[in-house]
């Protein structure tokens, strides 16, 4: 029994003509029957499609299927070939006129895109959770040399599979002054090259293995207790979903391509002229803005070019536009950030817009022929590789143009985007929710904000000592001190809000411990600032009433304040160096703080003895006791900081 190919025809299509001549010739040559043969046709009566809806007829050696314009369904058609003195030979195939269900077809395409984006996200999250500590250590590689920053941008983006995440992270680091603008520019250039790795991954022809990879990985992710294996399984599950989503998306687009309306619409976009190339680039930009993922739009582009819906030049122009669309997120994140952060976001846009502009000018004459030659594109061959090569060549050539001038570009952006007029509002504007997509960098950014809090609190302590010595002569500094305490309250609120939200997400055990530690440290620093202000308030109140503290107590308090600031420095050095070399031993810190507690107890006893020997105003007694309590509370909070860090210190050892 031999079969003709099944016929799937769009409803309302013209008659379909199938030549039987080659089949008959083959049957004759194989001795199945002698020519001429008699051919009869039968439509299986059990089919969902009525026989008259197909109306098959034979003309010479051709089979003609005449479709009813309203018919939808399937019919099994049986052809009987017979000749004298030979048994009959049967052929059977299915004829299916179908009507498009736009919602179902679009659901398949959108579902494929959703699986693809979800897979990219899980693959990125899994890798981050595995390599979180390594990514934090990589921050130490950032130096003034642009090559190091460039290399870190490439490696980090290849690991995280998202240039958007890395660019947002860079804007936050520049905003928090963890890196300079020139360093940030180097990382952004590298990130644009690192993101091209996604396109090359998609060129692997393993779509049929995507679902099994995801399925097996899910079992490990759900039932394995070892954390690193679970995170590795999450990354593998994401990779499987990427390929399965790409396959679903391609199949859905192939169905859509059979519709005349879709074919007419898609052929409106063609890069056969300069204006056509610009139009295609604009479409790629808009699609990326909508999807918020350049990887997803590159996946859609690859699917369209594979099924032949678009030509390769059109796909290449779409890829160029996708590079511009991915810059929007960085611009949004930079809103409300420091001027330097805005400069970093502006460079990301300039890098891609300038690159796309010059490439479009030489698109047909130079760029496209070069890509075709490198990727070996020949008609419909190697077109997927060509799309990946387009993305890579664009970013590599652009990087070669920009990297040698990164410091000059930084100076130009500093001139072009000047500092805002007026005092800058101090706040944790760098802690944006988008950066939580990268927990390792989010923790590093919170760490930088805590260091800013510590620096501000230390400066507040110095101001308080100055004001106590100067009295009421420096109203401006006093106002600044009270404003600083409010700023530290705001810093604490923003750090705790951000870190608490981060804890509600999927973090590794180590990252969760660090986040909880950061909440505690921020709270302790803010509490220290409260007691610095309490010292200032009690002193100012006495001086407003023309009251003075006994000279013995004043000199001792001045010494205590010096030692308190030194103790603060020791505690924060322990915090800052805990991931490197510990500068101060904890036992030494505890011994010093206990000695200070004993000294203040002795001073308190001497003060009480002084009260019994001479008359001291009640307000003075209350103020001195309040200051005794404030110093002891400050030391207590500093001890809490050191105690909070001890578990991490022991783990590092």
Query: CA–CA distance from 473 to each of 354, 479, 537 (Å)?
Result: 57, 12, 15
Using N-to-C axis directions, what is the helix angle for 406-416 and 339-361, rounded to 10°? 120
CB of 454 within 8 A of CB of 525? yes
What is the reported pLDDT for 643? 85
What is the reported pLDDT for 327? 83
* Structure token pair of residue 614: 């001479």
Dist CA 324 CA 571 (whole Å) = 46
User: What HEC string does 572-610 produce?
Assistant: HHHHHHCCCCCCCCHHHHHHHHHHHHHHHHHHHHHHHHH
Dist CA 391 CA 299 (whole Å) = 12
* Structure token pair of residue 375: 């990727």
Residues 6+ positions from 330 with CB-CB distance below 8 Å: 164, 167, 168, 171, 344, 345, 348, 349
Select from 393, 354, 349, 351 the least CA-distant residue to 371: 393
**CA-based radius of gyration for the chain:** 36
* Structure token pair of residue 65: 């299927």
| β-sheet bridge partners, residue 17 | 64
| β-sheet bridge partners, residue 378 | 381
Using N-to-C axis directions, what is the helix angle for 618-652 and 586-613, rounded to 10°? 170
CB of 636 within 8 A of CB of 594? no
* Structure token pair of residue 191: 């990130």
Dist CA 644 CA 274 (whole Å) = 63
Dist CA 39 CA 594 (whole Å) = 108
Cα-Cα-Cα-Cα dihedral of 187, 191, 193, 198, to 10°?
160
**Tokens 């590159």 sit at which residue?**
298
pTM of the entire predicted model: 0.66
CB of 441 within 8 A of CB of 184? no
Cα torsion 258, 261, 264, 269: sign? negative
**Tokens 């010292």 sit at which residue?**
535
Query: CA–CA distance from 474 to each of 151, 460, 471, 565 (Å)?
Result: 51, 14, 7, 21
Cα angle, residue 100 at apex, residues 62 and 66 outer, rounded to 5°: 20
What is the reported pLDDT for 473? 61
* Structure token pair of residue 47: 């089919």
**Tokens 């501000």 sit at which residue?**
456
Strand order from edge to edge, sheet including 7-10: 7-10, 86-98, 75-83, 38-43
Task: For residue 270, report the phi and psi dihedrals to the nearest 5 degrees.
Answer: -145, 135
| Chain Cα centroid distance, residue 356 | 23
DSSP 270-336: --SSHHHHHHHHHHHHHHHHHHT-HHHHHHHHHHHHHTTSS-HHHHHHHHHHHHHHTTHHHHHHHTT
**Tokens 């993305």 sit at which residue?**
391
Dist CA 120 CA 113 (whole Å) = 11
First to last CA, the chain: 76
Dist CA 375 CA 378 (whole Å) = 9
- If one counts every other C-beta atom within 10 angstroms of the C-beta of residue 257, the result is 15
* Structure token pair of residue 352: 């891609």
For domain 443-652, give the CATH superfamily: Phosphate transport system protein phou homolog 2; domain 2 (1.20.58.220)
What is the reported pLDDT for 354? 92
3-class secondary structure, 88: strand
Select from 463, 460, 465 the least CA-distant residue to 559: 465
Select from 574, 526, 437, 384 the least CA-distant residue to 160: 437
Dist CA 112 CA 132 (whole Å) = 29
Dist CA 299 CA 291 (whole Å) = 12
Select from 343, 418, 412 the least CA-distant residue to 174: 343
Beta strands 7-10 and 86-98, pairing class: parallel
What is the reported pLDDT for 397? 92
* Structure token pair of residue 599: 């000294």
Fold of 7-99: Immunoglobulin-like (2.60.40)
| β-sheet bridge partners, residue 38 | 82
Dist CA 166 CA 192 (whole Å) = 10
Helix extents (H) in 86-209: 102-138, 146-160, 163-175, 181-194, 197-202
Q: What is the DSSP letter of 366?
A: I
Domain ranges of the chain: 7-99, 103-416, 443-652
CB of 181 within 8 A of CB of 408? no
Select from 501, 504, 514 the least CA-distant residue to 428: 501
Q: Which residues in the chain land under pLDDT 70?
A: 1-3, 11-12, 30-37, 50-52, 69, 85, 100, 131-145, 161, 172, 175-178, 258-264, 333, 336-337, 420-441, 471-474, 577-585, 647-653
């Amino acid at each position: 029994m031999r079969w003709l190919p099944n016929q799937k025809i769009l409803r309302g299509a013209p008659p379909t003509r199938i030549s039987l001549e080659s089949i008959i010739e083959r049957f004759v040559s194989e001795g199945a029957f002698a020519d001429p043969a008699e051919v009869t046709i039968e439509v299986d009566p059990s089919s969902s499609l009525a026989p008259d809806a197909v109306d098959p007829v034979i003309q010479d050696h051709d089979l003609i299927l005449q479709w009813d314009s309203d018919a939808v369904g399937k019919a099994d058609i049986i052809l009987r070939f017979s000749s004298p003195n030979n048994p009959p030979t049967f052929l059977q195939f299915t004829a299916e006129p179908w009507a498009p269900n736009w919602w179902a077809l679009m659901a398949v395409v959108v579902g494929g895109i959703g699986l693809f984006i979800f897979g990219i996200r899980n693959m990125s999250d899994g890798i981050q959770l595995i390599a979180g500590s390594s990514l934090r250590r990589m921050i130490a590689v950032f130096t003034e040399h642009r090559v190091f920053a460039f290399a870190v941008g490439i490696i980090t983006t290849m690991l995280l599979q998202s240039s958007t995440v890395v660019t947002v992270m860079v804007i936050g680091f520049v905003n928090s002054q963890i890196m300079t603008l020139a360093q940030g520019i180097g990382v952004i250039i590298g990130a644009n090259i690192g993101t091209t790795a996604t396109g090359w991954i998609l060129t692997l022809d393993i779509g049929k293995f995507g679902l099994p990879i995801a399925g097996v990985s899910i079992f490990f992710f759900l039932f394995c207790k070892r954390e690193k294996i679970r995170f590795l399984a999450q990354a593998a599950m994401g990779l499987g979903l990427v390929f399965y989503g790409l396959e679903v998306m391609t199949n859905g687009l192939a169905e859509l391509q059979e519709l005349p309306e879709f074919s007419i619409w898609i052929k409106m976009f063609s890069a056969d002229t300069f204006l056509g190339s610009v139009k295609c680039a604009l479409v790629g930009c808009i699609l990326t803005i909508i999807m918020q993922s350049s990887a997803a739009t590159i996946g859609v582009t690859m699917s369209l070019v594979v099924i032949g819906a678009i030509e390769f030049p059109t796909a290449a122009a779409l890829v160029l536009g996708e590079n511009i669309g991915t810059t929007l997120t960085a611009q949004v994140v930079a809103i409300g950030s420091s001027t330097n952060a805005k400069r970093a976001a502006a460079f990301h846009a300039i890098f891609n817009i300038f690159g796309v502009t010059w490439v479009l000018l030489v698109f047909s004459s130079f760029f496209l022929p070069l890509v075709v030659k490198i990727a070996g594109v020949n008609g419909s061959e190697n077109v997927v590789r060509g799309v990946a090569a387009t993305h890579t060549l664009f970013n590599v050539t652009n990087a070669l143009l920009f990297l040698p001038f990164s410091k000059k570009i930084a100076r130009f952006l500093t001139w072009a985007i000047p500092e805002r007029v007026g005092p800058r509002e101090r706040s944790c504007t760098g802690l944006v929710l988008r950066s939580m997509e990268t927990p390792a960098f989010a923790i590093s950014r919170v760490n930088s904000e805590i260091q800013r809090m510590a620096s501000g609190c230390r400066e507040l302590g110095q101001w308080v000592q100055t004001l106590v010595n100067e009295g009421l002569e420096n109203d401006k500094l006093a106002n600044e001190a009270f404003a600083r305490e409010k700023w530290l309250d705001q810093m604490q609120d923003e750090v705790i809000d951000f870190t608490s939200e981060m804890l509600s997400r999927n973090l590794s055990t180590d990252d969760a411990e660090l986040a909880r530690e950061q909440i505690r440290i921020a709270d302790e620093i803010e509490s220290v600032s409260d007691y610095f202000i309490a010292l200032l308030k009690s002193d100012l109140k006495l001086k407003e009433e023309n009251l003075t503290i006994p000279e013995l107590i004043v000199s001792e308090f001045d010494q205590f304040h010096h030692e308190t600031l030194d103790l603060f420095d020791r505690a924060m050095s322990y915090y800052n160096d805990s991931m490197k070399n510990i500068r101060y031993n904890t036992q030494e810190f505890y011994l010093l703080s206990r000695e200070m507690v004993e000294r203040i107890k002795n001073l308190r006893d001497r003060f009480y003895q002084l009260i019994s020997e001479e008359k001291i105003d009640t307000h003075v007694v209350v103020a001195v006791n309040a200051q005794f309590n404030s110093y002891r509370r400050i030391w207590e909070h500093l001890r809490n900081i050191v105690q909070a860090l001890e578990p991490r210190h022991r783990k590092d050892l």
